[in-house]
Chains A and B, each alone.
Chain A
């Protein structure tokens, strides 16, 4: 019986690469994928970047983005291979039987056209219903998805609403023409944790009510466990494992899947003695220009050889705090005390020694390195600048540092563009360690990396801390990372520290409202977590 909506058989996708000055060549992005999707069910496609998940999702619409083309296999929608359709036939499928929700809704909406018009465009185009009926359906969907003022929401322009609202509007646009299948391409990746849970719940609610089938693409296994019936784990364009969600999450067969599930499960034991501070921030106020105060009475301290995690969402002031500590933004009040001595508030007033003791690594490792310098030059510069090392002595020390970051000598003459994401971050770590600092500020160093690569970097950082006794100020928005690596935690919200203390105290009840919300919003690798979280939220709201 044909309850199977989508059958993908041996799907192969490739592209042509045009390196400047050389002959173009072909590469295979997806190497033969098979899966089935029944009506009303959800399949989660999960993998790291480059695994091919978005490419496969777009293939369900017979679309290849940016020169990517489908080179083999078949995509059977209701028994018919849409890859063999004429262009007109494909246009009939898109927006009518299969709809797409993009990763960045902000870019996906036309800034010059009202939201309502864009949401009903496909519905009207494929003559599914008349205009007034379509407008009513749009309003209904806005309500189902939890958008404010559903009656008038459609009259707004994209720039007048928030990112989370746009993501939901995009889901409404996909649901409007009653499609059989929706492809969700990382719909919550760009959102804050606390917004993510709302959007996730709205999506799950909507597809359950309308019995739409869905392909849900993400790199976050915890998220996909909340919403899918089946999961397919992808790597380098091939299937690693494919099965029902219970089996994948609770009894994974492949090592890669096991690694994905167990990230951040190694917890660093909390350091016992947290007196004695290497770094102390006392009542810091800071502003960007007149009247734009961004930090309010920020205080925290970091003991020697330990890790202080500063956690918060975007706009909380965590990066600004780092800028105050490094001297890029002198505070208007308060002081930064390093090893008992107050640091001059502005960068230019600090001595070379003071600068040397305090190093920083960044979120985007590729722009943190000069693309025209080799690894050798990048790591070697601090050695020359601070210690006057040159020639053979310097080269030897560079090799030592390369070994420390588990990369080794062959990398010395490479350029940043030739390294992978994880390798780039390791080189940045080596560069900062070359100065032999006492404090290393890590500004979201793993946020832009794939989960397994990030895991490797975190393990490296912890090992280095044991070996060299360096202290870390670790800025992040990811609670799981915080739990795994910190000794003490500072939670920031809107420029204030709402909670500060040893890890065990901060992560356990009783909570202030914000920390409560934050912790509850982080998806756990547990089936049914979403329902529980929503239920407890409803109870909390009802109780107030």
Chain B
């Protein structure tokens, strides 16, 4: 079999195994921790009888492994169980919110990626001169700023400009691609872009600088090739693999940032759903969301890996 294909399949296989292991970790590992779900869930009203009742009702009296495999079986067939809070199926909420979250992440990515990569190249072109230093400091500041600071800053200015009101609009059921949703998504996406942009730009800059320092770039210069042509013909093909790596890793990072941003803007996505469930200790939802987030994260990391493989000439053209 083609060695590249087998390498890719290996990566995919490992990725799937990791997701499985994470699901076990999130289910079994969490249960092994001290503390009692039922008691936590009931909070103040945790009398012994109430706890026993709730345990039976939620099925917590079954052995652990049975519950895990039931749950796993459910997940693999698309059924994520029943929420403790409102007794509804987790699925329908989950998928609707997942699509909202993915839409938000996609909008952020569409803006962040081209700007980050371009700024990275600008920083390299003006290497060690003033524009590079300015970009470096600004990006360093941006990656240190927590999402809630940036997010509330935006809301503040939004309110400042438009006078006070109820803040950004919340439109639950409009179709995904409509203009109304763009309004909804604008500020949260902007917040995400600020943080992710800085990370991506710094990593792109580092990757390209690494390439520009290579001996073969000097060889091209010594052949009389113009700098723009060097960047286009010599540096770019070697930059694809590291940049794909950078972009995929940052998209993975978006997954984490999305949670906080959704809470800030009360955006009806999976992050909000997750945090709400965590606050009331609604474990089935918590576990379901945890697995889905982790799976997205793993898949994106895998894409980064596979992209690096595909763009590596040594692997694509073996001896």
Contact = CB atoms under 8 A, between A and B. Distances in A.
Interface in A461-493: none
Contacts of B223: 94-95, 99, 121-122, 125
B87 interface: no
Interface stretch (A103-111, A275-283, A347-355, A409-417): A103-111
A109 B224 contact: no
A538 interface: no
A102 interface: yes
Interface string A83-111: 00000001111111001101010011111
Given A94-B222, A160-B319, A104 B215 contact: yes
Contacts of A108: 215-216, 218-219
A110 B221 CA distance: 12
Given A65-B218, A108-B219, A94 B319 contact: no
Interface in B236-266: 237-238
A102 B224 contact: no
A137 B224 CA distance: 20
A159 B216 contact: no
Size bracket, chain B contacts = 20 to 34
A126 interface: yes
Contact of A102 (B215, B233, B237): B215
A102 B216 CA distance: 10
Contacts of A107: 214-216
B299 to A, nearest CB: 27
Contact of B319 (A99, A125, A126, A159): A159
Nearest to A90: B224
Contact of B219 (A90, A92, A109): A109
A159 B214 CA distance: 15
A35 interface: no
Interface residues of A, number: 28
A251 interface: no
A175 B223 CA distance: 12
A65 B215 CA distance: 11
A93 B214 CA distance: 22
Nearest to B319: A160
Contacts of A93: 224
B313 interface: yes
Contacts of A111: 216, 238, 313-314
Interface string B279-319: 00000000000000000000000000000000001100111
Among B223, B233, B234, the most chain A Cβ lie within 10 Å of the Cβ of B223
Nearest to B318: A160
Contacts of B220: 110, 121
A159 B225 contact: no
Contacts of B318: 160
Contact of A113 (B222, B226, B237): B237
A63 interface: yes
A176 to B, nearest CB: 10
Contacts of B222: 61, 63, 94-95, 99-100
Nearest to A65: B218
A367 interface: no
A90 B223 CA distance: 10
A104 B214 CA distance: 12
A110 B234 contact: yes
Interface in B183-219: 214-216, 218-219
A102 B317 CA distance: 25
Contacts of A393: none
B224 A94 contact: yes
Among A93, A102, A121, the most chain B Cβ lie within 10 Å of the Cβ of A121
A157 interface: yes
Counting from the closest, the 3 A-B pairs by CB-CB distance are A95-B223, A94-B224, A107-B215
Interface of B: 214-216, 218-226, 233-234, 237-238, 313-314, 317-319
Given A125-B224, A159-B313, A160-B319, 20 more contacts: A61-B222, A90-B224, A94-B221, A94-B222, A94-B223, A95-B223, A95-B224, A96-B224, A99-B223, A100-B219, A100-B222, A107-B214, A109-B219, A110-B216, A110-B219, A110-B234, A110-B238, A122-B224, A122-B225, A159-B314
25 contacts: A63-B221, A65-B218, A91-B226, A94-B221, A94-B224, A95-B222, A95-B225, A99-B223, A100-B222, A102-B218, A107-B216, A108-B218, A109-B216, A109-B219, A110-B216, A111-B313, A112-B237, A113-B237, A121-B220, A125-B224, A157-B313, A157-B314, A159-B313, A159-B317, A160-B319
